[in-house]
Amino acid sequence: MPPNDKTVAELGEFGLIDRLTAVFEANFEPEPEPESAFRLDLIVGNGDDAAAWEGPAGTTVFTCDAMVAGSHFDLSYSTPADVGWRSMVSAQSDIAAMGFRPAYSTVTLGLTGNETGSLLDEVYVGMAQACSGFGGRIVGGDVVRSATMFISVAMVGSESPVGHSSTLPMTRSGAKPGDLIAVTGPLGGSAGGLRLLMSGASPSGPAKALIDAHRRPEPSVATGVWLATNGVGCAVDISDGLAADLGRVCRASNAAAAIQLADLPVEPELKAVFPDDWPELALGGGEGYQLLFTAPAEVVEAALAMNPAITPIGEIVAGEPQVTVLDKNGSPLTTLMSGHDHFPKR
Amino acid sequence: MPPNDKTVAELGEFGLIDRLTAVFEANFEPEPEPESAFRLDLIVGNGDDAAAWEGPAGTTVFTCDAMVAGSHFDLSYSTPADVGWRSMVSAQSDIAAMGFRPAYSTVTLGLTGNETGSLLDEVYVGMAQACSGFGGRIVGGDVVRSATMFISVAMVGSESPVGHSSTLPMTRSGAKPGDLIAVTGPLGGSAGGLRLLMSGASPSGPAKALIDAHRRPEPSVATGVWLATNGVGCAVDISDGLAADLGRVCRASNAAAAIQLADLPVEPELKAVFPDDWPELALGGGEGYQLLFTAPAEVVEAALAMNPAITPIGEIVAGEPQVTVLDKNGSPLTTLMSGHDHFPKR
């Protein structure tokens, strides 16, 4: 190992992706364009929820997401069907965050060989349930042997419905000072549910709502399509936590965000079960797959009329990229610039 | 584990894919079609090199392929750049086997955290080299923590050049009795090279050609596009070995194949280094990524005029799906119906 070389654990996940993207671009020499009527023009590349390109008849979006045993799921407290559901929803949510509909998926299964057929059947039942609800029929896949079980889903999303074939994908870089920030539903429930599952809590009483939020999160496909076709240009799905994903919007848009802790929508069950920790769960908990979007006040108002679960939580302001959480008096409680990192820097 | 349940190792890879596809279809209820001008119609689903669907302006193909440390690559004898190259070529070859051009890719990296940044840089250099040569710009990805390193590439392929926007994808099910069987170049070299690398042979003399064939296989993109646009309806890429992949064509087409051992194209180096084992390597060795196609004699002749490396090796005949290897006198040497299985049945 050269003296200045760092391991992935030292580099951190986000630094790594930026670095590898730069390495690719530096070493990539596109082939001469074939004489083609079917030019595909890349309009969103690396670094957003999904990539997007324009063909002659509309825009296509493309994403991938992986879940690894031990890191993203644990069959000792998740059912195989829940794991299948969540692996599909995670990709569907990326497509929804662009304002598109899930269309087709491929699934790569990395298997140790010791999984039973019925366990994998259940994984696929969960996937089929998620596809039935939100789109993304499985059309192909690959099964490979791996010492660690993993599920990798790649998904293509199609254009929004008729009359909107020129819809632009919503990106992370479209936030403008003065925009309101809104989310499509309650935060922190999935993370609270995961914490309960890991502690062995029984799914009854208020715990049940949280555990269900973790087991069966839903991607906001219909809302995402509505937003993109009604003038919203900036959205992200909350997969790694509000603070982390809003932080990405700030960095990509070169702006700051101020959010009101008291305005964060949370389930009453979250406050009941975690009276002290609910703000941490609402700000930092991921895998709930709500969308976050920014737009002028009148657009947010129209969105709210369409989906009453939508909740404004703050505002985009000019300044260095950062997320500030304010108390009821408008005083900063905390300033956040980190997020969930699979390889947090040491 | 229920008494009749079997593990993946007992089920085998191919049985597993069929089973899970059936589970998905049985549990999938498509959403009501949105009122959309952008209907996407699936024309090739599970079980081919790639899936394909038709939109208003042409056909799109979609595939995924994964490589796992320990199963598909070993950094003790492969360079990181070679691993990156091969992970990309494996997906490009699937697209080529449909007769299309690689367009966009997403890459999921499963990392232990102990990989160095420079090692991953080299992986991406290899990927960029393969994309520069054969298409498939990386537009997105995911990095996840995994106890086993893996690379999963999903790739979308676009329509063939202008004037052929109605090109149909080549499938495994299009072989007809009377068709000739041809391959696009020498067989067994990559498998021979892998055997040499694993034994620690130095890459010099005749060994070098074989080791290079393993390190840097090339997908037959240009030939694949030519075949699809010139009336060939049946092709497959030889990723798991001639016998295995031709066996899949036979099963999908419900026909048999008879091939001449003496007609198999092999590098002279393969016969020099493996004077006894070359037939086994040519019939069973994968990861060389030649295409195999079937077509009437006059189409094969035209293909040969376009690419002189193309070699007829036998014929599709009526009968139960099986592959028969014939000696010079036309007597059957062996009948094959198996192939490379990541989880061979016990």
Residue A172: closest CA among A321, A17, A23: A321
- Cα(A78)–Cα(A216) distance, rounded to whole angstroms? 11
> Is residue B310 pLDDT above 90, yes or no?
yes
Structural domain that includes position B325: 172-336
Do A179 and A202 lie in one domain? The reply is yes
Tell me if residue A148 falls in helix, strand or coil: coil
Do A218 and A290 lie in one domain? The reply is yes
Of A133, A158, A183, which residue is a domain's last? A158
Give me the pLDDT at residue B14, please: 65
Do A150 and A295 lie in one domain? The reply is no
- Cα(A124)–Cα(A118) distance, rounded to whole angstroms? 10
Does any domain span residue B163?
A: no
Do A327 and A215 lie in one domain? The reply is yes
Q: Cβ of B73 under 8 Å from any chain A Cβ?
A: no
Question: Which residue in B17, B107, B117 is closest to A141 by CB distance?
Answer: B17
* Token representation of residue B268: 């002279």
Read off the pLDDT of residues A142-157 as tens digits, 9 standing for 90 and up. Answer: 888 899 999 999 999 9
Does any domain span residue A3?
A: no
Does any domain span residue A133?
A: yes
Do B180 and B306 lie in one domain? The reply is yes
Tell me which residue has tokens 């269900």. A212
> Is residue B2 pLDDT above 70, yes or no?
no
Give me the pLDDT at residue B166, please: 57
Give me the pLDDT at residue B35, please: 44
Q: Cβ of A24 under 8 Å from any chain B Cβ?
A: yes
Does any domain span residue A191?
A: yes
Of B103, B132, B158, which residue is a domain's last? B158
> Is residue B224 pLDDT above 90, yes or no?
yes
Q: Cβ of A12 under 8 Å from any chain B Cβ?
A: no
Of B158, B190, B222, which residue is a domain's last? B158
Q: Into how many domains does chain B fold?
A: 2
Q: Inspect the interface and report whether the beta carbons of A162 and B1 lie closer than 8 Å.
A: no
* Residue ranges of E strands in chain A: 41-44, 51-55, 58-68, 101-111, 137-145, 150-158, 180-183, 234-237, 256-260, 291-295, 311-317, 323-326, 332-336
Q: Please give the average per-residue pLDDT across A97-108, as a whole number.
A: 91
Supply the CATH number for residue B148's domain: 3.30.1330.10
- Cα(B274)–Cα(B191) distance, rounded to whole angstroms? 11
Do B329 and B220 lie in one domain? The reply is yes
Do B154 and B262 lie in one domain? The reply is no
Tell me which residue has tokens 């760092």. A6
Q: Which of residues 164-223 of A touch B (CB under 8 A)?
A: 165
Does any domain span residue B167?
A: no
Q: Cβ of B66 under 8 Å from any chain A Cβ?
A: yes
* Token representation of residue B275: 């004077």
Residue A91: closest CA among A136, A30, A121: A136
Question: Which residue in A20, A35, A152 is closest to B120 by CB distance?
Answer: A20
Residues from chain A contacting residue B26 (CB–CB below 8 Å)? 128
Do A124 and A185 lie in one domain? The reply is no
pTM: 0.88
Give me the pLDDT at residue B321, please: 93
Do A324 and A181 lie in one domain? The reply is yes
Residue B231 identity (one-letter amino acid) = G
Residues forming beta bridges with residue A109, ordered by sequence position: A143, A151
Residue A313 identity (one-letter amino acid) = I
Do A135 and A246 lie in one domain? The reply is no
Does any domain span residue A31?
A: no
Read off the pLDDT of residues B148-182 as tens digits, 9 standing for 90 and up. Answer: 999 999 999 987 543 445 568 899 999 999 999 99
Residue of B nearest to A44 (CA): B139
Across the A:B interface, residue pairs with CB atoms under 8 Å apart total 347
ipTM: 0.84
Does any domain span residue B1?
A: no
> How does DSSP classify residue B202?
-
Do B327 and B212 lie in one domain? The reply is yes
Does any domain span residue B343?
A: no
Question: Which residue in A1, A46, A152 is closest to B108 by CB distance?
Answer: A152
Sheet holding A101-111, edge to edge: A41-44, A51-55, A58-68, A150-158, A101-111, A137-145
Give me the pLDDT at residue B339, please: 44
Residue B67: closest CA among A6, A72, A51, A152: A152
